[in-house]
Amino acid sequence: MKVLVVGANGQVGKHLVKFIQETDGMEAKAMIRKEEQASYFKELGAETVLVDLEDDTDTIAEAYNGVDAVVFTAGSGPNTGPDKTVLIDLDAAVKTIEAAKLKGVDRYIMISSFDTTREAIQEAPSSFAPYVVAKHYADDWLRRTDLNYTIIHPGMLTNDEGSGNVEAAETVERGEIPREDVARVILSTLENESTIGKEFQVVGGTKSVKEAINSL
């Protein structure tokens, strides 16, 4: 299985590409925005493709050649304004979904926010609300497709070393999760077809990633 990782140069993306490259029968194609980002992935033996997520859908779709699955783990980041949040976390997400449909790549995994319900939008601080809104509608767009999708809602992300243990369910108590463990969860989701058509929240816990994903 060849997996296109959208947002590969992010912290979750880098962990994910590494894990994919270490897994038998899988290989990563890292979507990056700048050529100078390529060296990390080339050292892992991963293919790279240069794409600007603000380009049109047809241009983005060119990166899908030869891939079997897509993981969207891109984001505008905490230091940009609502304009970039809309352009990346919503519009770019939708364009990558449409590109998957265009290229016949059925497997699509979305890395969302912990809670993207209407209630979460109403309760979010004003500075955070545009991000939750963007994720809410990107998730909803994906649900309305015929793609074999999974939506992952991780808790508060940390840079701690991953433990390999998590709690995953349709709803869990808010908590933290290392980015490294989010990448492990994505990998396990790719390997488990029973996750198709599902979405779940995930935080640090006591079950192994594989056990937690198998129990969904």
Residues annotated catalytic, as ranges: 131
Taking each helix axis as running N to C, give the angle between helix 93-103 and helix 129-143, from 0 to 180 degrees, rounded to the nearest 10: 20
Q: Tell me the one-letter amino acid at 90.
A: L
Q: How far apart are CA 166 and CA 188, in angstroms?
A: 12
Q: How far apart are CA 69 and CA 56, in angstroms?
A: 20
- Give the torsion sign (CA, 190, 192, 193, 198): negative
Q: How far apart are CA 41 and CA 159, in angstroms?
A: 20
- Helix (H) or strand (E) holding 71, with range, is strand 69-72
Torsion of CA 94, 96, 98, 100, to 10 degrees: -150
